[in-house]
């Protein structure tokens, strides 16, 4: 049985993803896209870069290896990734359908959400 305390979520910024680790084994990834890549050229005039509250990350996909799919790992993973996003002062654009469903059931994360059509 997998215990939540055995789970570790790591931010792998070099690969633009969060990783879920259980007992030294990579069992999940949550990929994101840094939307600053699309807007940095617009900020050159007079500004050094985006303010932390302007950072929007699109959470693109959540993948959990098959052996861990039915153990509530995805919910734990997404929750911890969103907590890290909040710590970083990011806004989140939930492209991933699982992340959208997760956020829809949890009003405590509404402050992080940027709508897809915004």
Residue 14's CB is within 10 A of a number of other CB atoms, namely 6
Q: What is the mean pLDDT of the chain?
A: 83
Q: How many domains does the chain have?
A: 1
Query: Encoding tokens for residue 39?
Result: 């807007």
For the whole model, what pTM was predicted?
0.81
Buried b or exposed e, range 58-94, using 16+ CB within 10 angstroms: bbbebbbeeebeebebbbbbbbbbbeebeeeebbbbb
Domain-located, residue 117: no
Q: Is residue 76 part of a domain?
A: yes
pLDDT digits (tens, 9 = 90+) for 77-118: 999 999 999 999 999 999 999 999 999 989 999 999 987 654
Per the domain annotation, does 97 fall within a domain?
yes
* CATH number of domain containing 74: 3.40.630.30
Structural domain that includes position 82: 4-112
DSSP state of 25: E
């Amino acid at each position: 049985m997998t215990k939540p305390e055995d789970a570790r979520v790591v931010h792998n910024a070099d690969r633009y993803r969060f990783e879920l680790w259980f007992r030294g084994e990579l069992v999940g990834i949550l990929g994101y896209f840094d939307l600053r890549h699309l807007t940095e050229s617009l900020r050159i005039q007079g500004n050094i870069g985006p303010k932390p509250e302007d950072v929007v990350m699109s959470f693109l996909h959540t993948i959990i290896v098959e052996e861990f799919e039915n153990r509530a790992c995805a919910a734990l993973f997404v929750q911890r990734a969103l907590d890290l996003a909040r710590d970083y002062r990011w806004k989140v654009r939930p492209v991933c359908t699982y992340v959208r469903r997760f956020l829809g059931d949890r009003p405590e994360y509404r402050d992080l959400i940027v709508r897809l059509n915004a």
